[in-house]
Amino acid sequence: MKASRYFFVLLLFIVAGTAFIQVNQPPTPLTFMVPQGWPQPVYDFKSNPLTQEGFELGKKLFYDGQLSRDGNFACASCHQQFGAFNNYDHNLSHGIDNQLTTRNAPSLQNLAWQSNFMWDGSIAHLDQQFIFPLTAKNEMGETVDSVIKKLSADTTYTRMFAQAFGNGNITGQKIGKALSQFMVMLVSSNSKYDKVKRGQASFNQSEALGYDIFKNKCSSCHTEPMFTDNSFRNTGMQLDYSLNDLGRMNVTKDTADFMKFRVPSLRNVQVTFPYGHDGRFYRLYDVMEHYRNNLVAVPNTDPLVKDKIPLTPYEIGRLTAFLNTLTDSSFLTNRMFVPDSFIISPSLMHTH
Ligand code: HEC
Ligand code: HEC
């Protein structure tokens, strides 16, 4: 009898032991590669170490409609890979209940080098960014608590949270960290431009001329290698009174920041149309027309553009050829950024 009790205790230890291993097996570290010649990223990897399991979880969350109230709006419905994770072909994105957002969804790429987020920089930390679209009435219309409830009822998720973060208890903080792990891995550094920089390709004559024009007229703001200096500038865009978007001034309440918007990266610009914070420019040509003809300077318009940027049609042609070398097709088609189970469903592909 005593022996069987020992046996029972031993059995208990074995069972508890295997459960212990399952939950506490450390996740597999994932290395973040800094492309050759690029600055060090600013994302705080120490407070959110990258792991294979965290990345996979973040990817699943990013493509999951359960993060929205009606189940139809995943992050990926407005951030589509073939548009460099912007909202391809949409000036303003469609959210829940047939509502429109008030801004153009930016591309998501090289976010580890960005220290604040949104067109006006209103969000300071990537790990907290998801709360905004998730709870916005015109985006996903959900609450974090309700999402936690839905995910906690799903054993695939509790297992994946356990594998990534040590236990299956789902919190908003962990959701944010997992989404960040997926999003910081969206590195685009393999365009023709990058290959030229690495000595693996060369520009043709048009592209080379375009690059010179770019360095003269554009790169003070769209600074290499990120093609943004992460500043906020007024480029003489006129206020759209129906949206009444004051840009950076919404955040700082300082009139000096009236209509200042983040300088967007121009990487993959060929596929990130429409352009501008509200998607008002449909073609690259329309952006060029803005810089050379249409901009209306106000007192805080940037000195670099306030007198307009002279551009001949010939120069526009060369510049466009150069900008097209920033297209990174390996980034736009990398299967690593799509869940294995993901089938492009019509409800996720909003078209006009
Ligand atoms: C309904 C469309 C829509 C959905 C759904 C959506 N986004 Fe966005 N996203 C946008 C728009 C529009 C902006 C720009 C907002 C602004 O500037 O105020 C944006 C901005 C961002 C940014 C900032 C990028 C930058 O360069 O500053 C990140 C990161 C982001 N979204 C991640 C997500 C994540 C993660 C989810 C899912 C939890 C998500 N988005 C869901 C439309 C959407
Ligand atoms: C003074 C800084 C500055 C200069 C110089 C500048 N830009 Fe911009 N650019 C910006 C800002 C800021 C925006 C966003 C404006 C907005 O939406 O309100 C922008 C937007 C763009 C966009 C739209 C990108 C997108 O994804 O929405 C393109 C394309 C672009 N610029 C190309 C150029 C080219 C080409 C030149 C040189 C001829 C140039 N820019 C010069 C600051 C600048």
Which ligand 2 atom lies nearest to the CA of residue 309? 38
Q: How confident is the model at residue 341 (pLDDT cuts 50, 70, 90)?
A: confident
| Per-residue exposure over 313-337, b if at least 16 CB sit within 10 Å of its own CB, e if not | eebbbbbbbbbbbbbbeebbebeeb
Residue 346 has what pLDDT?
46
Residue 99 has what pLDDT?
87
Question: Does the pLDDT at position 344 exceed 80?
Answer: no
Q: How confident is the model at residue 332 (pLDDT cuts 50, 70, 90)?
A: very high
Average pLDDT on 265-272 reads 97
* Distance between Cα 20 and ligand 2 center (Å): 54
Residues with CB under 6 A from ligand 2: 217-218, 220-222, 233, 235, 237, 261, 263-264, 266, 269, 272, 275-277, 284, 287, 291, 302, 304-305, 309, 319
**Range with the lowest mean pLDDT among 67-76, 218-227, 311-320?**
67-76
Q: How far apart are CA 71 and CA 99, in angstroms?
A: 15
Asked, as a colleague might, if the bond just before 274 is cis with ω within 30 of 0, I would say yes
> What is the tens place of the pLDDT at every residue in 62-95?
999 999 999 989 999 999 999 999 987 888 888 8
Q: How far apart are CA 67 and CA 131, in angstroms?
A: 10
Q: How far apart are CA 242 and CA 128, in angstroms?
A: 29
Question: End-to-end alpha-carbon separation of the chain, Å?
Answer: 75
Tokens representing 48 are 């959110």
Residue 352 has what pLDDT?
40
> Is there a contact between 84 and 331 (Cβ–Cβ < 8 Å)?
yes
> What is the tens place of the pLDDT at every residue in 26-47?
999 999 999 999 999 999 999 9
> Is there a contact between 232 and 260 (Cβ–Cβ < 8 Å)?
yes
Question: Does the pLDDT at position 345 exceed 60?
Answer: no
The protein residue with its alpha carbon nearest to ligand 1, atom 15, reads: 118
Q: How far apart are CA 212 and CA 318, in angstroms?
A: 9
Average pLDDT on 216-224 reads 98
| Per-residue exposure over 187-213, b if at least 16 CB sit within 10 Å of its own CB, e if not | bbbbbbbbebbeeeeebeebbebbbeb
Question: Does the pLDDT at position 175 exceed 60?
Answer: yes
> Is there a contact between 81 and 182 (Cβ–Cβ < 8 Å)?
no
Which ligand 1 atom lies nearest to the CA of residue 77? 5
> What is the tens place of the pLDDT at every residue in 96-141?
888 888 899 999 999 999 999 999 999 999 999 999 999 999 999 9
Question: Does the pLDDT at position 15 exceed 90?
Answer: no
Q: How far apart are CA 239 and CA 90, in angstroms?
A: 19
Judge if pTM exceeds 0.75.
yes
Q: How far apart are CA 151 and CA 8, in angstroms?
A: 35
Domains of the chain: 32-188 (1.10.760.10), 192-327 (1.10.760.10)
